[in-house]
Amino acid sequence: MALVDWLVIRNRPADIGYSAFAWEEQPEVLSSPVLFRAIFARKWVFVSGLAIAASVAAIAGTATWVVPAYIKVQNMPVESAALIGTTMGLSQVAFLVLGGYISDRMRKSVMVRLGAVLALATALLFTLATIYPMSFSLLLLLAAVSGISVFSGGAVFSLLTEKYPISVATGAVGYAEIFGMIASFLSPWIMGLALRETGGSFTHAFLAFSALEVVLVAALFLLAREPRFSKSYVTERDQVAIR
């Protein structure tokens, strides 16, 4: 992807044929210490990061362990694995688009909370599938609704652009995504560890997955309660630097 970017991305609109295009007056480039301080002076980078982590943890955990769980616990035929995996992938696309549409009409902070709760719901639903016998139709239905874990994907980044000025928001998005990168490894690893320690119990693995989601959702709700800062999100010195 880095190679593709290097080949196709250009610095200026004129480089891709828009010779008459003119940027609006650009803010002064921030030095790294001011940018870092401006981002982490507010809690919203952590709120968004936790929201991303909840969604990505759900994606990584289910993509890694749902099909093996279905095969072992529900005696699903191995040849049905592709159908379940494809259904889960299409579900994520559908709910991400639907969530983006609804995000344009709701408060972003509400959508972020809702998305985290739905990610937890995904973990709980699949945990039930490791406890109770279910028909293949029901297992397929669970796969079809599993995309609710990414329902607030569009709202997360919109929230950051609302809470930070444009000169800071792009950096905030990058820092928030680090939470998701960590969660993409943490979730399936915790589940695999639970499987190993319990001798292959998928119920315990998905309970561990659910516990991780509970921690992420609880931390998000705790941080996103009432604004801790005034409307001015940085010190006067930082505001001067940003201007």
Roughly what angle, to the nearest 10 degrees, separates helices 44-73 and 108-129? 20
Q: Is residue 193 part of a domain?
A: yes
Decide if pLDDT at 27 tops 60: no
Q: Is residue 213 part of a domain?
A: yes
Lowest mean pLDDT among 106-115, 154-163, 175-184, 229-238: 229-238
> Which pLDDT belongs to residue 29?
52
Contact indicator for 78, 71 with CB cutoff of 8 Å: yes
> Which pLDDT belongs to residue 240?
44
Q: Is residue 228 part of a domain?
A: no
Contact indicator for 119, 220 with CB cutoff of 8 Å: no
Which 3 state secondary structure label does DSSP give 222?
helix
> Which pLDDT belongs to residue 165?
84
> Which pLDDT belongs to residue 235?
46
- Element holding 188 (H helix, E strand): helix 166-197
For residue 27, the tally of other CB atoms under 10 A from its CB is 12
Compute the average pLDDT of residues 14-30: 65
How confident is the prediction for the chain on average, in pLDDT? 87
Lowest mean pLDDT among 28-32, 82-86, 154-158: 28-32
Task: For the full predicted model, state whether its pTM sits above 0.95.
Answer: no
Pair of tokens at residue 156? 């997360």
Task: Tell me the H-state helices in 22-165.
Answer: 32-40, 44-73, 81-103, 108-129, 136-145, 153-163
Pair of tokens at residue 232? 């001015």
Range of the domain at 56: 41-222
Compute the average pLDDT of residues 60-87: 96
Which comes out higher in pLDDT, residue 185 or 15?
185
Radius of gyration for the alpha carbons in the chain, expressed in angstroms and rounded = 21
CATH number of the domain that 204 lies in?
1.20.1250.20
Q: Is residue 152 part of a domain?
A: yes
Q: Is residue 234 part of a domain?
A: no
Domains: count for the chain = 1
The DSSP letter of residue 78 is G
> Which pLDDT belongs to residue 161?
86
Lowest mean pLDDT among 54-63, 73-82, 118-127, 227-236: 227-236
Q: What percent of the chain has pLDDT over 70?
A: 87
Which 3 state secondary structure label does DSSP give 30?
coil
Q: What percent of the chain has pLDDT over 90?
A: 63
Q: Is residue 143 part of a domain?
A: yes
The 3-state secondary structure of 118-143 reads HHHHHHHHHHHHCCCCCCHHHHHHHH
Q: Is residue 227 part of a domain?
A: no
Which 3 state secondary structure label does DSSP give 99?
helix
Per-residue pLDDT reduced to its tens digit, 169-211: 888 898 999 999 999 999 999 999 999 999 999 999 999 999 9
Decide if pLDDT at 88 tops 80: yes
Q: Is residue 239 part of a domain?
A: no
Residues in CB range of 22: below 8 A, 6 or more apart: none
Which comes out higher in pLDDT, residue 152 or 233?
152
